[in-house]
Amino acid sequence: MRRCCGGAGLPCLFKSVGMANPRPPKYLLVFDFDETIVNENSDESVVRAAPGQALPERIRQTFREGFYNEYMQRVLGYLGDQGVRMGDFKAVYESIPLSPGMPDLFQFLSKNHELFEIILISDANMFGIECSLRAAGIHSLFRKIFSNPSGFDKRGYLTLGPYHSHKCLDCPANMCKRKILTEYLAERAQEDVEFQRVFYVGDGANDFCPAAALTAADATLVPWDSATEIARYLQELLKKKG
């Protein structure tokens, strides 16, 4: 799958450690999750925990375009009815492989953490994302994770909610990534954090809206098959900037 990394003037979130007055990072790096950081759609991956690793047609037929979050609520309800519990979900999420080159990219970002602030915006769910990132050893690199709220109720069922409401006509009812990104940038600006450039790393249709928040003067489209190509692009950027 050919993906793209957009660069522009958006803000970035990262923790600086051990400095009384740390210099703010120069660059904001915004990641999508499904089929970007990980090489699968994590919502589809959880079906591996279902009996026969498949959903009944009566559940599949309830999907409506633009209301995927509501559909996944029904999927998770069905899985709960089948006895799928926290340990089962955790095992699935922890087994999802990173996309090609992602370990190299995150190793580069770890070595240059003072320059990059990193956030994640995903229409998946918080529990699954945090399980995957911790299993990969990269959770601490993210200053902030924006995703749909999820947790386990008294029955032990994994529950899912919408992230927010919005008026964007291009995004699903539960999440507009551009709204999240622009609000984050505004928040960081109020904290006197200004970024020289913002980079957006994503794979598909639901990443076009947040990419539109990038300015024409700053934006660069970089197709990628392996995240190693993104690391190489950022390395060249740092060399040019000295």
Which amino acids are annotated as binding site, given as ranges?
32, 34, 43, 123, 203
Q: Which helix (H) or strand (E) holds 160?
A: strand 158-160
- Under 8 Å between Cβ of 43 and 72: yes
Residue in the structure block whose two tokens are 């660059």:
27
SS3 162: coil
**Binding-site annotation, residues for Mg(2+):** 32, 34, 203
**Binding-site annotation, residues for substrate:** 43, 123
Write down how long the chain is. 242
User: How far separated are the first and last CA of the chain, in Å rounded?
Assistant: 33
Angle at 147 between CA 144 and CA 151, to 5 degrees: 110
Which DSSP category does 207 fall into? G
What is the distance between the alpha carbons of residues 36 and 1, in angstroms, rounded to a whole number?
Answer: 10
Q: Which one from 34, 81, 153, 170 is the annotated catalytic residue?
A: 34
Q: Which one from 32, 104, 153, 225 is the annotated catalytic residue?
A: 32
What is the distance between the alpha carbons of residues 66 and 162, in angstroms, rounded to a whole number?
Answer: 12
Does residue 34 have an active-site annotation?
A: yes
Q: Which of 112, 116, 146, 117 is nearest to 32 (CA)?
A: 146
Across the strands, what pairs with 201?
5, 31
Does residue 104 have an active-site annotation?
A: no
Please give the positions annotated as active site. Answer: 32, 34
